[in-house]
Amino acid sequence: MAADKPQLDIEALTKSFHRAKGQEVRAVDNVSLRMEMGDFVVLLGPSGCGKTTLLRCVAGLESPDSGSIALGGAEVYSSARRLEVPPERRNLGMVFQSYALWPHMTVAANIGYPLRMAGQCRADIDARVKRMLEMMRIEDLANQYPGQISGGQQQRVALARALARGDDMILFDEPLSNVDAKVREHLRLELLAMQRELGFAALYVTHDQEEAMSLATQVAVVADGAISQIGSPQEVYSNPKSLKVAKFIGSANQLDGIVTRGGSDLAVDTPLGRIRLPEAVLPYAEGGRVSLVSRPERWRIAKSRPETKEAWQGRVRAAAFLGAYNHYLVDLGKTELQVWQQGAQLMPIGSEIWCRVEPDSFVVFPAETPA
């Protein structure tokens, strides 16, 4: 495999579905995406956004309408060349949402199946299966059937099967959505360690942003069949390119307002009053309607009035203790604010408090025109 070729190269891929009554839905709309070896790209989006369809196009389980897909430098789909390599000849691994373990085969037979299909000899298969079982620390399950093992164990078997052939590209279709929270967290860390160690390229579909953040080297936010933004988790989280991305990734407080000139600085008139912002953050003309988005963990609340000018008085409407953070819902007049703050003491509901935030915590977008 040529080192200079990307591991996955999707160009201008489009796929539509025809609903009843002749309606056409663009599930994948002119998507381009490149991945190198070792990349872990997570397609993140709400259900129905087209992320699974994109993944299934890469697998060959769906036929796109147009565009091209290349794996390891070799084209597997090209509408221009009328080329479509069937899934069984694409040499990639896939973990399914339902695991799709064959109920009539033992764990070892499930894992060994891709090797058997590749025509490997028995001894090689046995050795490889043994290694995979060890790697997943499920050696004692080799002769069990999928129906006899727990959900977390099934997940490991599904992963072992996907990795068995040592393919360079592994696809994941919401693989952790069927296990409980505790197991999910554990498996996530294991998967991460495994991917960094083996170095395969992973394309992963999920609607869970926490999962996306913790796994990805690159998060691709998918909405309406297109990739809205792609970048490292930190980048996407702190510098969302659009209001849509900002609101989908993590929790966000939104303040709508109008840009005004307050003395020497630019400022935004919001329901909370005038908020002064540094010039760099606010490249919008005076009179423009904008939305200020801030993350709940950037806000601080206290019983006493802080020293800064940018502080507002409010009342705690709801408070929840979540271990590492306390989550508050604060009423500031007609505005509602989410605040996550560390601290041993949970402020009771109804407390009169002061909120503050650094001006550089705001990300500014042009306001969404009311539909």
Partner 1 sequence: MTGVTKSVSRKPDGFVLIAAAISVFVAALIIYPLGWVIVDIFFTDWRFDTTPFEALAQEHGLGQLILNTVLAIGAASAIALVIGCTFAWLSERTDLGMPFLGKMLPVIPLLIPPIAGAIGWVLLAAPRAGFLNSWLSSLASLMGFGQTGPLLNIFSWPGLIFVYVIYLVPHVYLSVAAGLRNLDPSLEEAARISGARPLAILRDVTLPAVMPAVVSGGVLALITGFALFSVPLIVGGQGGIEVLSVRIVHAMIASYPPKTGVALLLGLAIIVLIGSSWMLQRAVLRGGRFATIGGRGMRSATVKLGGWRWPARIVMTSYLLISSVLPLVALAIVSVQPFWTANISFEHLTFKHYAALFSSNSLAWTGLRNSILLGVVGASLGMLIAAVISFYIARNRGSRLAGIIDGATKLPAAVSHLVIGIAFISTFAGAPFHLHGTLAILLMAYLVLYIPQASLTAGTALAQVGKELVEASLIAGASTGSTLMRVTLPLMMSGLAAGWTMLFVLTAGDITASAMLAGNRNPVSGFVILDLWTNGSFPPLAAFAMILTALLSTVVMVTLAWTWRRR
| Distance of closest approach, residue 158 Cβ to partner 1, in angstroms | 8
Chain residues in the site for partner 1 (CB under 8 A): 59-62, 86-94, 96-98, 100-105, 113-114, 117-118, 145-147, 161-162, 165, 171
| Residue 91 or 153 having the CB closest to partner 1 | 91
Positive or negative: CA dihedral 116, 118, 124, 129 = negative
CA angle at 356 for the pair 352 and 359, rounded to the nearest 5°: 160
| Distance of closest approach, residue 109 Cβ to partner 1, in angstroms | 9
| Residue 26 or 241 having the CB closest to partner 1 | 26
Q: Are strands 335-341 and 326-332 parallel, antiparallel or unpaired?
A: antiparallel
Task: Look at the chain and count its residues.
Answer: 371
Q: Give phi and psi for 40, each to the nearest 5.
A: -125, 95
| Residue 120 or 341 having the CB closest to partner 1 | 120
| Distance of closest approach, residue 129 Cβ to partner 1, in angstroms | 13
| Whole-number Å distance between alpha carbons of 284 and 290 | 8
| Residue 145 or 237 having the CB closest to partner 1 | 145
Q: CA dist 73 to 9, 204, 218, 252, Å?
A: 8, 20, 20, 40
Q: Report whether 42 contacts 33 (CB < 8 A).
A: no
User: For residue 260, what are the β-bridge partners?
Assistant: 267
| Distance of closest approach, residue 207 Cβ to partner 1, in angstroms | 16
| Residue 102 or 321 having the CB closest to partner 1 | 102
DSSP class of 117: H
Tokens 């979540």 -> residue: 322
| Residue 51 or 161 having the CB closest to partner 1 | 161
Q: In the structure encoding, which two tokens stand for residue 110, read together?
A: 């499930």
